[in-house]
Structure 1
Amino acid sequence: MLVLSRKVGESVLIGDDIVVTIVEARGDAVRIGIEAPRSMRVHRSEVATAVSEANAAAAAVSDDDVKDLLGRLRRPE
């Protein structure tokens, strides 16, 4: 892991098209701004982990569970 010190207003370049700028530093929190191409997904790590876990849980649903849920649905007349 590369560890850098930056002051408010200073930036870090990642590759040719990603810029991370320190926007604000207050107490033990730092606000950063990220400029990246729209094709590049940028997520907080806890959000990416939650989505990954939710996808794994959804994939773990059995065929019997799906059949049970579908059996409970009423079709419109």
Structure 2
Amino acid sequence: MLILTRRIGESLVIDNKVTINVLGIKGNQIRLGIDAPKDVIVHRKEIQDRIIQSQGESNPNSDAIDS
């Protein structure tokens, strides 16, 4: 895991496609702005976990190994 320190107004760039800007800090929360192409899906982790869980429930044999 890469760990970076950023201040308000600073950014980081991923793969020359996605820019993450630190917009603000209030208490233990950080406000981020994310600029990404439309084909890049961006979700909060808890939303992504729910999506994966619901996909597994709709296809219960998705983890089955063919023998």
Distance in 2, Cα, partners of 1:16 & 1:56: 33
Distance in 2, Cα, partners of 1:58 & 1:37: 29
Matched with 1:37 is: 37
Distance in 2, Cα, partners of 1:22 & 1:50: 26
Provide TM-score, normalisation by structure 1. Answer: 0.73
User: Tell me, which stretches of 5 or more residues in structure 1 are unaligned?
Assistant: 61-77
Q: Which has the higher helix share?
A: 1
User: Tell me, which stretches of 5 or more residues in structure 2 are unaligned?
Assistant: 61-67
Q: Following superposition of structure 1 onto structure 2, how do residues 2-41 of structure 1 map, counting pairs within 5 Å?
A: 2-41=2-41
Percent of counterpart pairs with the same letter? 30
Give the number of equivalent residue pairs: 61
Provide TM-score, normalisation by structure 2. Answer: 0.84
Distance in 2, Cα, partners of 1:33 & 1:18: 10
* Structure having the higher Rg: 1
Q: Following superposition of structure 1 onto structure 2, how do residues 36-55 of structure 1 map, counting pairs within 5 Å?
A: 36-55=36-55
Distance in 1, Cα, partners of 2:36 & 2:55: 26
Q: Calculate the aligned-residue CA RMSD, in Å.
A: 1.4
